[in-house]
Structure 1
Amino acid sequence: MNPARRMDGAAMISGRRLTPHRDDRGVFTELFRDEWALGVEAERWDLLCLQDGACRTVGSAVLVALDGRAELRADGQLTTLEADVPHAVTIAAGEHAELRACAGGALIARGQPAGVGPLPMLPPAWDGPELPPGVELVNLPMDPGSLELHDRRRDPPVRPVQWNAVRSRTGVLRGVHCHGRHADLLCVVRGAMQLGLADLRAGTDHRPLCVEMSGDRPQMVAIPPGVAHGFLFLEDSLHVYAVDHTWDPADEAGCRWDDPVLAMPWGLQPERVSSRDLGLGTLAELREALTG
């Protein structure tokens, strides 16, 4: 991409090429890391849902197209955001640009500085069986054309340093995974999935359960370390998730989704499970890895 520049030569708009990873389950794309130093304090994240031809003025931010295509115009220069060729596009501090959705509309993830003053915490959205301690499920605030994912002013349980987007096909199962160090923050943007949860922390006695999440009812779930989780997708889906530590393979553990001792109540048989997840060990081996 050709960056738009100010008269002093500094870039008004710049971009970082992202790399989608595709397999038979879908597509994984890393959207943002704090350590990339893109020049924006991304303390608030939301999704901009733009209909065909819709325009919106945006200030200093990091923008990534998750679906569709949009054009970003600043000082006569045009930059294209495409989900099929993803970039993390940065609008520099103090600058503004015009964002316009192309044919078919666009779904844009936006990271930007948070505003001034505290915001109230979001109330719990779950009235089913008791969730494991530290697991929080909340309804997300919506405005016309946008959906708030995260705002540090609400004192959220997870402070993201990395955001990812994942597309999954109907019948795909991902997991079961568990982390000893990092927490997850996850939202289903489109489609629907069954989220399986099992508390494996020492001294807990919590029965596994499944929670259905849907893009028609936008919610965010926070999953702390030590709580095993898996995802069974009920239709073609897109979800975004954040972590509070940069991805580390040493913090990736798991067990088979159908471990008889785990006894996760999926209720459905998956159509696709990755070779990596099929090769996971038993629940007993996972517990040993977490405590070892």
Structure 2
Amino acid sequence: MSFMIIKPGRLQGIYDITLTPNNDHRGYFTRMYDQNIMMAHGLHRNWLQENRSFSRQKGTIRGLHFQFKPHAETKLIWVSKGAILDVFVDVRTDSPTFGSYDSKLLTEDNFAMLYISPGFAHGFCTLSDNCEVVYKVDHMYSPDHEGGILWNDPALNIPWPVQEPIISAKDQKLLPLDKLTKERLR
């Protein structure tokens, strides 16, 4: 039995992962991570942290966050409770898709995960109350290397599913992508 179906996303460095649960009369069992499968796809990392984000209200936006090199992170993301629209923006200055974004619906019921390579800003909007997002990262958090893009950057024009989100004061002060220095992004 294959425990995961892994497919490249539209943007190079993004992978859509679908977990394949084993169902019976009691419910289901699913493997959340399999080192051998991930290694076979070249995606295994030495995960250093696992984080859990809880948002009380539908319409909460967190992001768009990333870490500058040399602390740029790979992320493996899934939703353990609720539903989100997960959004990721290519901030790799040497990429042909620099400044492009994509998104994916992640819910507790669709068994979808995202693998996001370093060089992407990441954020999400909660589509339900009491939403819990869990993600692994392969670098330790470094406040000196923290970066982000304004969630409603007019140049990106991301179609968020909410007009007036619940958002932190810190995220409201992030800069649009064109105001970030390309030297630091390299």
TM-score, normalising length from structure 1? 0.53
Equivalence for 2:35: 152
C-alpha distance after superposition, 1:110-152 (max 9, x if no partner): xxxxxxxxx96832368xxx52111111112323543322122
SS at match of 1:170: coil
Identity among equivalent pairs (%): 27
What aligned pairs does 1:80-229 form with structure 2 within 5 A after superposition? 122-124=4-6, 131-143=10-22, 144-154=27-37, 155=39, 156-168=43-55, 169-180=57-68, 181-206=72-97, 207-229=100-122
Equivalence for 1:19: none
Give the superposed CA RMSD.
2.3
Q: How far does residue 217 in structure 1 lie from its aligned partner after superposition?
A: 0.7
Q: How many Å separate the matches in 2 of 1:264 and 1:287?
A: 21
Q: How many Å separate the matches in 1 of 2:85 and 2:181?
A: 23
In structure 2, the gaps of 5 or more residues are: none
Q: More relative contact order in 1 or in 2 (CA 8 Å, sep 6+)? A: 2
Q: How far does residue 251 in structure 1 lie from its aligned partner after superposition?
A: 2.9
Equivalence for 2:149: 255
C-alpha distance after superposition, 1:23-64 (max 9, x if no partner): xxxxxxxxxxxxxxxxxxxxxxxxxxxxxxxxxxxxxxxxxx
Q: How far does residue 194 in structure 1 lie from its aligned partner after superposition?
A: 0.6
SS at match of 1:124: strand
In structure 1, the gaps of 5 or more residues are: 1-118
Q: How many Å separate the matches in 2 of 1:177 and 1:286?
A: 13
Counterpart amino acid of residue 122 in structure 1: M
**Does the CA-based 8 Å contact 1:177-1:253 persist in structure 2?**
yes
Counterpart amino acid of residue 137 in structure 1: D
Counterpart amino acid of residue 148 in structure 1: R
**Does the CA-based 8 Å contact 2:150-2:176 persist in structure 1?**
yes
- Cα 1:270–1:132 change in 2 (3 A) is farther
Q: How many Å separate the matches in 2 of 1:281 and 1:145?
A: 43
Q: How many Å separate the matches in 2 of 1:159 and 1:133?
A: 21
Q: How many Å separate the matches in 2 of 1:290 and 1:214?
A: 34
Q: How many residues are paired up?
A: 171
Q: How many Å separate the matches in 2 of 1:174 and 1:274?
A: 8
